[in-house]
Structure 1
């Protein structure tokens, strides 16, 4: 039985809690929830405590107190900046981490430090697929031979209202608002393109993947299309999601794989 902690207590974390309550994570016990807003952490803790009788889950708004629990695995659903505040200390404590805010790893020095810390402690970082898929294909082809990778995102302009690329014409016209690499994309849109960094890390790296972000008026949800080409292989995968739920469920799948005798 593994102990579990959750950092960031929004809707995606609630998907994980509900999966645990519904018996989809039978090898885990949730022992702590962490949020800057204590009431959010308390809500999830209360929810699981209503059915999880053998183990009590505590709520925290202090990172140090949360990390002192030393859960076997910490699920992160907050933000790249939040991930940076705790992941190194968590790994030093022996806690493995399942992060949705993979954009933090576009920082090369930080990513290298995470790898070194994990190797030294024996803990691991398990990167879930988030709102995309095909990370296994990207990694396989990139190991096999030199490849090029393109990552195209289609979304509504609404999530970009507070970004520097936004203007009123985006309400009526389709537009490519960004074209560059994943490192540049996550710097410009810290919470919008974490999955492009995951795709980059699984393949050619954050400097060499081509990222295109396009907005369409009244578009609902997000579509991410990943294309990889090499001498032997050509593959394209497009995933449309009306909501962000698939990201939360990708964490559930990752947690199940960690304890499963057969891993997909």
Structure 2
């Protein structure tokens, strides 16, 4: 199989996982050729990690999205924020690059979702939505295709993870409280970078407006717990996932990249 060229936008902890997967040989069909991050030093760090794999074509840390797109990578991993996906998606898809994104929350905007769908179709490119910290997309999507269903998404978080959001109060440090109840569109508006998985589950089932979402803050809680329930006349499915750290999101990118090039797909 021909080697696919790869670039990364957002060079934090999740990008580090992808770099380590490349180095360890878990992604043998890919070569990382470009990195971009708001902090140039982070992009340079990831580029330096993988350059020894292909010293004849070193990975280039870029100072702008335009510089990254000029490299014309086959695939771009977006691991920054919904705002970054909004900036990147349409130019990248028009440029001939496929996208693998963690910032699925941006797609709660119906107009943006339709624009991405149209642009990808017209340019023979694709946007891959990774599972992040949840799973069960196969059964969720199957139920929604099979018949009418309802869906809910409940998440439990530490109050510290809610700092710098509109719902945070010091009393959350000592008192368990449901801090948000609404739909996936409401949730991503309140927490732009913290409930991408809720939007992902909604897109696989009933849509951002009809997916019921609640967020509970629990004192001294470590990690995140997500519980998704989808119910139809014939099927009742519950996905309950706890993760101590965000590492599972980075590894879900690795799994998606492996599926893209694998002769056997999970």
Choose which of 72, 75, 81 in structure 1 pairs with 2:74.
Answer: 72
Deviations 1:210-242 (A, max 9, x none): 001001000000000100110000011111000
- Give the alignment of 1:119-138 within 5 angstroms: 119-138=121-140
Deviations 1:25-65 (A, max 9, x none): 00000000011111110000011012333432100121111
Q: CA–CA distance in 1 between the matches of 2:141 and 2:56?
A: 40
**Residue 155 of structure 1, CA deviation:** 0.6
After TM superposition, what 4+ stretches of structure 1 lie above 3 angstroms from structure 2? none
Match of residue 35 from structure 2: 33
Match of residue 259 from structure 2: 257
Choose which of 110, 113, 116 in structure 2 pairs with 1:111.
Answer: 113
Please report the TM-score for the alignment, with normalisation by the length of structure 2.
0.98
Deviations 1:76-98 (A, max 9, x none): 10000011111100000110000
Match of residue 234 from structure 1: 236
Q: CA–CA distance in 1 between the matches of 2:38 and 2:243?
A: 28
Consecutive unaligned residues of structure 2, counting only runs of 5 or more, are none
Match of residue 172 from structure 1: 174
Match of residue 24 from structure 1: 26
- Give the alignment of 1:135-146 within 5 angstroms: 135-146=137-148
Q: CA–CA distance in 2 between the matches of 1:206 and 1:149?
A: 10
Choose which of 154, 167, 173 in structure 2 pairs with 1:152.
Answer: 154
Choose which of 91, 94, 107 in structure 2 pairs with 1:92.
Answer: 94
Match of residue 81 from structure 1: 83
- Larger CA deviation: 160-169 vs 217-226: 160-169
Consecutive unaligned residues of structure 1, counting only runs of 5 or more, are none
- SS in structure 1 of the partner of residue 155 of structure 2: strand
Residue pair 1:4, 1:30 contacting (<8 A) in 2 also: yes
Matched, 1:222 2:213: no
Choose which of 201, 208, 211 in structure 2 pairs with 1:209.
Answer: 211
Q: CA–CA distance in 2 between the matches of 1:131 and 1:54?
A: 36
**Residue 164 of structure 1, CA deviation:** 1.2
The count of aligned residue pairs is 264
- SS in structure 2 of the partner of residue 89 of structure 1: helix
- When the two chains are superposed, the root-mean-square deviation of aligned CA atoms in Å is 0.7
Matched, 1:193 2:195: yes
Please report the TM-score for the alignment, with normalisation by the length of structure 1.
0.99
